[in-house]
Structures are given as structure tokens and as C-alpha cells.
Amino acid sequence: MYDSVLGLHSYWAYATLGLLLIATLNAFGGLSSKRVFTPKDRQISMIALIFSHIQLLLGFVLYFVSPYFETAKQAGMGAVMKDSTLRLYLVEHPLINIIAIALITIGWSKHKKTEDNQAKFKKIGYMYAIALVLLLSRIPWSAWFN
Ligand code: HEM
């Protein structure tokens, strides 16, 4: 169970980050060319939203089946906070990524509340870009590429 969820979370991350990058670049492209927000723009942003929500769900499952969680249960939160690896996996990575996905969701729902094309691109572009920076800041890079 642990190995399959870890594998899925690990591979889904490529798709999620890639789609978020595409949706962000697409929104800034629309903003700079001042074009109309089309159903295709909506689709690109929505696919990135859906992939990030699935990644969030996989993350929640992984959290509770991961050996890091077992270690935390035994060692306690004080020990987790003192150890940079445990702190990354059990506190920083989940917390920052939940915030990032909340920002993606806010950007998505705010774009729906405006009729203005440029405002739509702005809400998606800025929120997705901030989320992407937050996600990239808390990826366990060395474990991922190992
Ligand atoms: C879009 C959001 C997220 C991305 C892109 C992401 C990406 C990753 C990546 C690339 C890894 C390393 C996988 C590997 O070692 O092969 C990882 C590990 C992990 N992630 Fe996430 N993650 C996200 C959200 C979350 C969330 C929300 C949680 C928890 C609620 C979470 C929990 C974990 C845990 C516990 C591990 C370590 C598992 C282990 O090695 O035992 N992730 N994540």
C-alpha cells in the first residue's frame, strides 16, 4: 500500500507541476496579448486544478501510511520539529502544499466571478504562480530524483 501510494504521489507530481506551469504561462500569455478568455483557457486551468486536488488527496493518504508518520507517533512532535527531514515531510511539505492548493482553488473560483477577460487571466495567473513557487519550495528534491 505504502509503495504504491508513494509511487503514485511521486509520478503524479510531474503531471501536476507541469500542468500548473502550463496553466500559469497560458494565463500570463493571455494577459500580455490582451486576448479573450476562451473555453480552452478555462479547460487548461481546470485540468491543473483537478490534478492538484488529486495530488492533495494522494498526499493525505501517503501521510498516514508513511514510515515518517509512525516515527512521529513514537518520537513525538517535539522530536519531529528538531529533525529537519521529519519536519519537511510531516509539517512543512503538507502545510505549505495545502496552502498552495487553497490558493489555486481561490484563483479558480475568483476567475468565475468576473466577466472581464483580463481579470480572469490575472486571477488564475497570479494565484497559480504563487502556488507553484510555494510547491517548488517544499519538494523533497533529493528523495524525488533518487
Ligand atoms: C501538489 C502538491 C504536492 C506535490 C507536488 C507533492 C510532491 C511530492 C514529492 C515529489 C514527494 C517525493 C516522492 C518521492 O520520494 O519519490 C512527496 C513526498 C511526500 N508527500 Fe507530497 N506533494 C504534494 C502534496 C502533499 C500533501 C498535501 C501531503 C500531506 C497531506 C503530502 C505528503 C507527502 C509525504 C508524507 C511524503 C513522503 C512520503 C515518504 O517518503 O514516506 N504531499 N510529495
Give residue 145's pLDDT.
87
- Longest CA–CA span in the chain (Å) reads 56
Cα of 63 from ligand 1 centre, angstroms: 8
pLDDT at 146: 79
End-to-end Cα separation, the chain, in angstroms: 20
CATH fold for domain 2-144? Four Helix Bundle (Hemerythrin (Met), subunit A) (1.20.120)
Instruction: Report the phi/psi class of residue 34: left, alpha or beta, with left for phi > 0 and alpha for psi in -120 to 50.
Output: left
28 close to 122: Cβ distance less than 8 angstroms: no
**H or E element, residue 34:** none
Which residue owns the Cα nearest ligand 1 atom 21?
59
State the Cα–Cα distance between residues 90 and 104, nearest whole angstrom. Answer: 22
DSSP-assigned letter for residue 139:
-
Ligand 1 atom nearest to CA at 13: 5
For cell 501536476, the residue is 16
CA nearest to 90, candidates 106, 75, 105: 75
State the pLDDT at residue 60.
97
Q: Which residues' Cβ are closer than 6 Å to ligand 1? A: 6, 9-10, 13, 16-17, 52, 55-56, 59-60, 62-63, 66-68, 89, 93-94, 97-98, 101, 135, 139-140, 143-144
Q: In a structure prediction context, what are the per-residue pLDDT tens digits for the chain, which is 146 residues long?
A: 999 999 999 999 999 999 999 999 999 999 999 999 999 999 999 999 999 999 999 999 999 999 999 999 998 999 999 999 999 999 999 999 999 999 999 999 999 999 999 999 999 999 999 999 999 999 999 899 87
